[in-house]
Amino acid sequence: MTSYTAPIRDMRFAMDALGLLPALAVLPGYTDATPDLRDALLAEAGKLAEDLLAPVNFSGDKQGAVLENGVVRTAEGFKEAYAAYVEGGWNSLAFDPEHGGQGLPWLLGFATSEMWVSANNSWGLCPILTSGAVELLSAHGSSEQKELYLEKLVSGEWNGTMNLTEPQAGSDVGALHCRAEKEGDHYRIRGQKIFITWGEHDMTDNIVHMVLARTPDAPEGSRGVSLFIVPKFMVNPDGSLGGRNDVFCVSLEDKLGIHACPTCTMSFGDNDGAVGFLIGEENRGLNCMFTMMNNARLGIGLTGLSIAERAYQQARDYAKERVQGAAGQPVTIINHPDVRRMLLTMKATVEAMRGLIYDVVSSLDVTRAHPDSDVRSAARSRVDLLTPVVKAWCTDMGVEVASLGVQVHGGMGYMEETGAVQHWRDSRIAPIYEGTNGIQAIDLVTRKVLRDGGDTVAQYALEIRTVLSALEADSDTVLTSLHTHLSAALDTLETATRWLVTEAGDAPDKALSGATPYLRLFGLTAGGAIMARGALAADDDDLDFHIAKRRTAHFYAENILSQATSLLAPIQNGSESIVAFAEDQF
């Protein structure tokens, strides 16, 4: 097991080579986001990640979170690390100064979050949910709710949670049973929620639950769902804490991974009824909750990158130390071609994911700060299109990279003592979180492609065509390879998109059967465009570093992006064999 080192050099390269930070720094409100400030932030965040979070990752996995008499105790070192995180102002980086935020771009906020999750996945999930709660209240809360809750959530002194899932409902939020009955200026909430990440713990003074529930006369299904603030402790008008609300953790889930993250079954209203406050209008709760969910989907996509980076670092370091080979000719295993293939697959995938996530988050910053409403609208469409790709492709790749990390270690990777298998176990929840990746693929195809007839995809394809033109203008071997494979991948994506619009728009079985391979095709292609942009920007300022970037991009083109064209067949032809298979034949 090796320590974690924040990949600050790679982070800076992604921001600068893709032109992200320079483009944001000229926007109103972001002029302080200079390279010097960025570098200082990343250096200090790296210290917190390396010195406080990483050392308690392995021990936290062994110790886990513990429920004792209704109180959840976090693993040793977690509470202290969180206190340092809040004291350092890290939670407030990207939030509105009106509520105590620092007003910096999400780009910088996500970069620091990458470090938290890489260093300690279980711990890093807590701030991700609080971030979503802040976005939800900022967009939909009343002035009184914002005044009462936002400052403490922005600082991280309180954390937020998302309470959607119930035992009988699963992903079908419209089937929930949790009830909300109006009582004066508030509601009484009664019911149970499961799989609530960081639903109860000892790291903050208060926990602000965002809870979906149904009022007595609400319509059936998702149209009858309302959203409520349900604080663990009541909040007095002056912001001080009052009495305990009727909401408790009744059990902790026994999970495959993220053992130090308390995943709770929460019971609301076992006594007098939990006091809740309506956000927005009755029966419009799911619309409000999607603000938090979309923020969380980008955050969970980031966890795919983060765990992949951690797994790569450990596999790389092990491969440089482990000696094995034919008798009389032992070498470190990094010299074996197949081990190099695995390590390069990990490295190239991590760099493609990082660039894609930073790119999308920068578009999110444009939606907040650009003075031109048309530019903001186009950026919003871009973020909406790419959010399911970030969430699903990056978390799928996180699992695959973590699995390769185990494989590089060989038999020792399967032993808990090395820590490699923890990364795989921790990674496996991410494709399920915040709408399974199958749901993300369905969202991409139905809401993002078919709804506008593929227009937003066409706009994104034009961006990639610009990259292809730049590649074509250079005869360099690496750029030629990138041009060949990126062009083929984009042609395949455009062909698949046209087919979905013309052939599958009125045929749900066709569209949904090919949704997952379509999303993977999209992710591979988007990652290829990111790697191409990085290769184009690599120069001789730091010869070895930039040569490595170009070679990594070359590997991505030949070994990963080249797989994209094979996905057209299951997109177009997969439904017949899927639908034809009778239920009793399984």
Question: Letter for the amino acid at 168?
Answer: Q
Q: Which residue has the tokens 């922005």?
A: 154
Nearest one of 550, 405, 365 to 1, comparing CA atoms: 405
Burial class of 562 by CB neighbour count within 10 A (0 to 12, 13 to 18, 19+)? middle
Q: Length of the chain, please? A: 586
151, 141 Cβ separation under 8 angstroms: no
Q: Confirm whether 463 is a catalytic residue.
A: no
**Reduced to 3 DSSP states, what percent helix, strand and coil does the chain have, rounded to the nearest 5?**
65, 10, 25
CA-CA distance, 37 to 115, in Å (whole number)? 17
214 bridge partner residues: 179
CA-CA distance, 89 to 95, in Å (whole number)? 11
Cα–Cα separations (whole angstroms), residue 444 to 206, 222, 353, 376: 36, 20, 18, 21
Q: Strand 158-163 relative to strand 206-213: parallel, antiparallel, unpaired?
A: parallel
Nearest one of 401, 465, 461 to 431, comparing CA atoms: 401
CA-CA distance, 335 to 316, in Å (whole number)? 11
- Catalytic one among 434, 472, 494, 583? 434
Q: Write out the DSSP string of 139-168.
A: HH--HHHIIIIIHHHHHTSEEEEEE---TT
| Long-range residue pairs from 418-421, CB within 8 A, at least 24 positions apart, any chain | 418/1, 418/314, 418/318, 419/1, 419/2, 419/57, 419/58, 419/314, 420/1, 420/311, 420/314, 420/315, 420/318
3-state secondary structure of 248: strand
Question: Tokens standing for 253?
Answer: 């889930």
| Long-range residue pairs from 246-249, CB within 8 A, at least 24 positions apart, any chain | 246/270, 246/271, 246/272, 246/273, 246/274, 246/275, 247/189, 247/209, 247/274, 248/70, 248/200, 249/67, 249/70, 249/72, 249/199, 249/200
CA-CA distance, 573 to 219, in Å (whole number)? 39
532, 554 Cβ separation under 8 angstroms: no
- 306 contact partners, CB below 8 Å, separation of at least 6: 113, 114, 115, 116, 117, 118, 121, 124, 398
Could you list the active site residues? Answer: 434
